[in-house]
Amino acid sequence: MQLNAEDGGHRKFIMVQLPEKTYKVDQDTGKPILDKGGQKIPTKGGKAAYDAGFKSIDQISRERIRRAAKKIREDNELTLPENFDGSFKHYRVVKPIKQTLENIEDFDPNNTNLFTNMVDGFSSQSLEVAGDTAGEDTILTTWLAKDGYSFDTNVEEIKFGNYTAHQVENNRLYLINEGWGADQTKELLNQLGTHQLEVQSVVLFGYSFNVAELRELENGLKQLDSKVTLIKRY
């Protein structure tokens, strides 16, 4: 970030840090060890961090980046490039909760109506982690990584009526949320057929589509002159 501030560069970095606790944990019960006052006991090397409010090492790491960016801005106030980027994105690897896994196991695509919004099960609130990330963002980010895209890949929102899809590098179109219907399929096929939209594949979150919606979309894509692959993920 300092070099970017000096020469207007666009260097990027990835930082990885395990969430090592700054307090002791009982290995038998998995519960924090409590002293007589009912407080968690900081580790020998983590006392200063714990007393400062950091419960894990990765929290310190994020704060260091914030402070470094703030200092660079203050020290280079007059010469700082207009497009200087002192921010960062924070990713977590989190397992779905038991209820989400049970909903996945019980899912029946033959139902005409979907009674459970499976996307919400991947929001930060449902996963019980800090932040306000929507389930759609979690799924999209996971898929982008799975499909070999970098974390800074340009993702463009494409509207089909009141439905928002995500296009990546004129290559893939991701359909994740519920709400896709006949009107959206008609609009998508029209844009693909008239070359307003160019994609090689459409990737959809199968839990958000019932069998009728899937069949209509699948049949429509097969009738196009240009080959567009439909990828269903569960």
pLDDT one-digit tens code per residue, 106-125: 887 776 555 668 999 999 99
pLDDT of residue 83: 86
Domain boundary among 75, 110, 131: 75
The pLDDT mean for the chain works out to: 89
**What percent of the chain clears pLDDT 90, i.e. is strictly above it?**
62
Q: Note the pTM of the prediction, 2 decimals.
A: 0.76
Residue 50 parent element (H or E): helix 47-51
Domain span at residue 57? 2-75
Taking residues 33-39, what's their average pLDDT? 52
Task: Return phi, psi of residue 206, to 5°.
Answer: -55, -30
Strands (E), the chain: 155-160, 163-168, 172-175, 201-205, 229-233
Q: What are the residues whose beta carbons fall under 8 Å from the beta carbon of 209, sequence distance 6 or more?
A: 109, 175, 178, 180, 217
Q: 110 and 188 share a domain?
A: yes
Q: Is the pLDDT of residue 94 over 70?
A: yes
82 part of a folded domain? no
Q: 25 and 141 share a domain?
A: no
Q: Is the pLDDT of residue 89 over 90?
A: no
Taking residues 164-168, what's their average pLDDT? 97
185 part of a folded domain? yes
